[in-house]
Structure 1
Amino acid sequence: MRHLFFLLLLSACAATDAPRTDATAERGGPQYSLGQWSFHRALFDGEMSNFDFVRTAGEMGFEGVELVNQFFADRAQDNAFLDSLKTAADAADVELTMLLIDGAGNLGASDPTERNAAVEQHLQWVQAAHRLGIPALRVNAHGDGSPEEVLRNSVDGIGRLAREARSQDIQILVENHGGPSNSGAWLTELPSRLREYEVGAVADFDNWCVERDSGQLWGGNCTKRYNRYEGMQELMPYAGGISVKAFNFDASGEETEIDFGVLFDILRAANYRGYLGIEYEGESLPPREGIEKTRALAERHWPRRQVVDPGTVGRIDSTLRSFVDRGDVAGASALVYEKGEEVYFGAFGQADREAGTPMQRNTIAQIYSMTKPITGVALMQLYEQGKFQLDDPLSDYLPEFANLRVYQSGADAGAVQTTAPSRPVTVRDITRHTAGFYNGGDTPGLQAAYEAADLRNYDNTLSMMGAKLGRLPLLFDPGSRWLYGLSVDVQALLVERLSGQPFDDYLREHILDPLGMDDTRYVVPESDLPRFSGAYNRAEDGTLTQLPNDEAHAFNLKEWPLTPGGFGLTSTLDDYMTFARMLVNGGSLDGATILQPETVRLMRTNHLADEVTDRSWLPTKGQVGFGIDFAVRQRPPATAEENPGTVGEFFWDGAASTLFWVDPANELTAVLFVQLFPYDQIGLHHDFRRAVYGPFQPAAGSGQ
């Protein structure tokens, strides 16, 4: 009967599924490994052996297999068995890609004796993996106590294990696999603390239940669940393996609760190149059929889809033209690149209505806060040179910020009560707007003090601005809130101090000239003024008024002492698109290397902890976090009213309603130019994004 059952297992769905071809390899797709757990019932029941599983994986066309130690738990030191298993894998022409370890003790146990025993048990499996030629060991970060205690103890236990494993050329990978480890924020902290041992992660599509009513890792109802899309994005920088897991399929073959499209956007955005581990855990299909459907779903979603096609071009045209025709904007222009090629350009209406100048491709626009990402790139060039670390106190490099205080109360500037901050402002704080600098609003005393300081007076140098700011109280404790403001101007000052160059000279020499961004500058020369767009104010009744050019362009018509990092640059569509394309390419473009790929990844990674719940107006940008001078999309839009976009994209905009974004999943960059105040009250950004990406489709299980 066991032999008959095994034959049926191998033949399941043979009549409905065509033999797998090498199409995936031909189109440059990933390699697939088969997770042994997919056959766990047959293996536990004795209907399939470990050798049967390896042969089955080869017959199904898998390039690799992921073994689970539970199916040979007592044979870690049985060299004859291990050698036979390796021989079987060689005969089946499959790689042994990973060994998943369970039941070997808790590496995060609070009891040192228990933790030491767990390390010793795992070391037996390190030796087994070495004999099998397996390059990676998946372990669990399980323990007792609070999440912080489990993390601290896991750093010790897994760190010691990883140190020994590295001597055997085996990488330790930690999976989101129960309890606190099912939180992306928690789990990413573990490899970040164990960088020296190259500890990585296995990112599982499904394991995101952080707490259960049973109080156990498994069983019972889930009472706290981490968002799978946010968690996957957080784990990708550390991912040494992916568990592509499915349970149930609809009539079209899609997973009913897991949106593979969104998840594969995340994988592509991270440029993941490792094995994709296929794991079917459903109960409605025979294992082999479920495995084939899971792999077919992965193969369907891996290729980058075309975003901008002829229909998209027409949709963008009609969207932008409608804003001009309604009189909501005087002129608008947009440029989109996809996979390194220009796929859209359009310009509508007038740049300068009074002069009768049409909106054109080379129109110069004030980009305001789209200056900030350029400043961030400048700062991170110095980070690459080892000039600072993100968590260094800011005062290590800018001593004028050494004695900051935090506002408590006070009715006027001369009677402000303050207290010492709980920790110093760090460089990371000024890159993510958590430093605590006041940025307007009715705060008695503090408001008057900042207004009196006149920090952004054009006659201030950056050093003068910094000296004044360093004497003013912070609005809140560093790291406790997100509040937009002066932080990026402080970044510009930091660039000056660390580089020894004036900030504008640094930008020109290290970013703008190497990229050929000749039209991106603070001062627009007289010869280029005919290309300089006017600026417009839209009243509540919809009346559009052009602001006087000498007033609107005052900062850009002459050279001022102030060279801010947070605003002030002008640019053209093509210039700013060059900057965006450099970012989507991982820091390089047309032979110019501005940043290393790992630095770009760091910039587009969310740096806001979940505990930072007060985020001012940032949530109006969508379901985003914040990286280094970019908003970072963490989750797919939940409603049609949210700004459309792809998980993993990073972006920013400007006060005159300009916008750009970088979508690594689709290798797409977009720049939108208008000159409209107040900032986008007309839904322009939403509708432009919707024109690019098409109708809203809610993600499956978007709340999971």
Structure 2
Amino acid sequence: MSIQPEVAPEQAGFDARRLARLDAHFARYVDDGRLAGWQLTVARDGRVVHSSVYGHRDTEAGLPVEPDTLWRLYSMTKPITSVAAMMLWEEGRFELTDPIAGWLPEFRDMRVYQKGSVSQPFTVPATEPIRVWHLLTHTSGLTYGFLNTSVVDALYRKAGYDTAGKPGADLAETCRDYAALPLLFQPGTAWGYGVSTDVLGRLIEVISGVSLPEFVRTRILEPLGMGDTTWSVRPGEPRMAALYVPTPDGRRVRFDPMGRLAYEEPEAPSGGGGLISTAADYQRFMNMLLNRGAGLLGPRTVGFMTRNHLPGGADLDTLQTGGFAETTFEGIGFGLGFAVVRDPVPARVWSSPGTFYWGGAASTAFWVDPVERLTVGFYTQLVPSSTYPLRSQLRQLIYSALTD
């Protein structure tokens, strides 16, 4: 299903000429070779104000980006998995303070890296168990192998976990492997991006009694009408965007070793980065969040998820462990599955306090601004996401187009 404008910009409080700057600005990224293509949606009060596409979903095949192009969400999967978990929370199936070892006993008696090398790491006992809220807020001490910033990251890679999972390992075995590795820090004491949401996906499976893809499909995707959102696509799917990486000369090159994973049924479905979707489908998910749950979650649950849950009310700049650039850190808190704007001034990019958002490894991004009743989705295909300042520039251009 494609996505089209539903209301004139002036009727929604936008200056149409200023909105047009968006397309001209991001077209330059394609014209000079930095991006292959992109898709953008801007909506207010749930009605699409601006929808545009540019460039190619597959440059080599000469296939343009179209309104129904399929994009790799990568970490924009995390909010969907977090919503799934909180649906179980609303049923009283767990408390946020519960240790996850009650369902995943492999996470009992965790160790925390203190010093040493990959060959001889020295660890100490965890002083606090990993609790459910630690998974939702990335304060668990779990990390990613591909970050390449610590000895613990290297231990993940040594165990077979880099940008992809270990061949032959399902989600249960994958989580047992994670539990056998040391934590990067004591749970609840810092913020570190990692496999927390993948473990959360396994927790959903054990508590619900069904697989993560089945739970997400029946409880979220089907009720919202997200029929194009899947964990893989058939080989040769023509709507699927290709994947690219930057070159030293500021251009890009196709990256099929990572891109072809979209055509394979995952052995360990990733709650942290596994979904493929369209702009129209993700707009439905954003509208649900803007409308405070819209029947999937209670409105107070969405409000609770989008508060800052970091210890002491700190921002990411205070608690982050480094090695990650999905978002700015200054003035940004983190809720239950989303980054949350506490104060836009320290980051020098406007958005309303209370705006919540996230992005994906292929430079995709979304945000929901409850104050302005605004949702934005940006979809593209360049890894890593930190290559260009696409997200901050989106905010500059979109907020400066508001006139009411």
TM-score, normalising length: structure 2: 0.89
Q: Which amino acid in 1 is paired with 2:241?
A: S
Higher relative contact order (CA 8 A, sep 6+): 2
**Deviations 1:322-376 (Å, cap 9, x if unpaired)?**
2222322111110111012110001111111111111111000111100100100
CA RMSD of aligned residues (A): 2.1
Deviation at 1:695, TM superposition (A): 7.7
Q: Percent identity?
A: 37
For the Cα contact (< 8 Å) 2:201–2:271, is it kept in 1?
yes
Give SS of 1:327's match. Answer: coil
Paired residue for 2:305? 603
**Contact 2:155–2:181 under 8 Å retained in 1:** yes
- Cα distance in 2, alignment partners of residues 609 and 382 from structure 1: 24
Note the C-alpha offset of 1:678.
2.5
Q: 2:244 aligns with which of 514, 519, 536?
A: 536
Aligned-partner Cα distance in 1 for 2:153–2:386: 26
Q: Deviations over 1:282-306 (max 9, x none)?
A: xxxxxxxxxxxxxxxxxxxxxxx95
Of 38, 55, 66, the residue aligned with 1:332 is 38
Residues 360/494 of structure 1: CA separation in 2 closer, same or farther (3 Å cut)? same
Alignment-mate amino acid for residue 603 of structure 1? M
Aligned to 1:502: 211
Residue 4 of structure 1: aligned partner: none
What SS is found at the alignment partner of 1:677? Answer: coil
Contact 1:555 1:568 in 2 (8 A): no
Say which SS state the counterpart of residue 599 (structure 1) adopts: helix
Question: Which letter does structure 2 place at the counterpart of 1:686?
Answer: S
> Is 1:620 the equivalent of 2:328?
yes
Give how far 1:447 is off: 4.6
Higher helix share: 1
Q: Per the alignment, in what secondary structure is the counterpart of residue 177 of structure 2?
A: helix
1:622/1:643 contact within 8 Å kept: no
State the alpha-carbon separation in 2 of the partners of residues 673 and 514 from structure 1: 23
Name the SS for the 1:333 alignment partner.
Answer: strand
- Give the number of equivalent residue pairs: 381
CA drift of 1:443 comes to: 4.0
How do 1:132-531 residues align onto structure 2 when only pairs under 5 Å count? 306-413=12-119, 415-440=120-145, 441=148, 443-444=150-151, 446-455=152-161, 456-526=165-235, 529-531=237-239
CA distance in 2, matches of 1:320, 1:309: 18
* Residues 308, 338 of structure 1: 8 Å contact kept: no
Aligned counterparts, 1:630-649, within 5 A:
630-638=338-346, 642-649=348-355
Deviating above 4 A after TM superposition, structure 1's stretches of 4 or more consecutive aligned residues are none
Write the distance in 1 (CA, Å) between the matches of 2:98 and 2:133. 8
Deviations 1:411-457 (A, max 9, x none): 344x432222221111111111111124344544x455322322422
Q: Is the 8 A contact 2:143 2:196 kept in 1?
A: no
Contact 1:320 1:688 (8 Å CA) reproduced: no
State the match for 1:248 in structure 2: none
> Counterparts of 1:411 and 1:630 in 2: how far apart (Å)?
33
Segments of 5+ residues of structure 2 without an aligned counterpart are 1-10
1:691, CA displacement in angstroms?
Answer: 1.4
Kindly indicate whether residue 286 of structure 2 is the aligned counterpart of residue 577 of structure 1.
no
Distance 2:313 2:90 in 1: 29
**What residue identity is the alignment partner of 1:424?**
P
**What letter matches 2:253 in structure 1?**
T
Q: What is the distance in 2 between the residues matched to 1:681 and 1:451? A: 23
1:80-101 CA-to-partner distances (Å, cap 9, x unmatched) read xxxxxxxxxxxxxxxxxxxxxx
Determine which structure has more spread, i.e. the larger CA radius of gyration: 1
Q: Tell me how far apart the structure 2 counterparts of residues 320 and 466 of structure 1 sit (CA, whole Å).
A: 40
Deviation, structure 1 residue 546: 2.2
Query: Is residue 658–residue 675 contact of structure 1 (8 Å, CA) maintained in 2?
Result: yes
Residues in 1 aligned to 2:118 and 2:267: alpha-carbon distance in whole angstroms = 30
Q: How far 1:514 moved relative to its partner?
A: 0.9
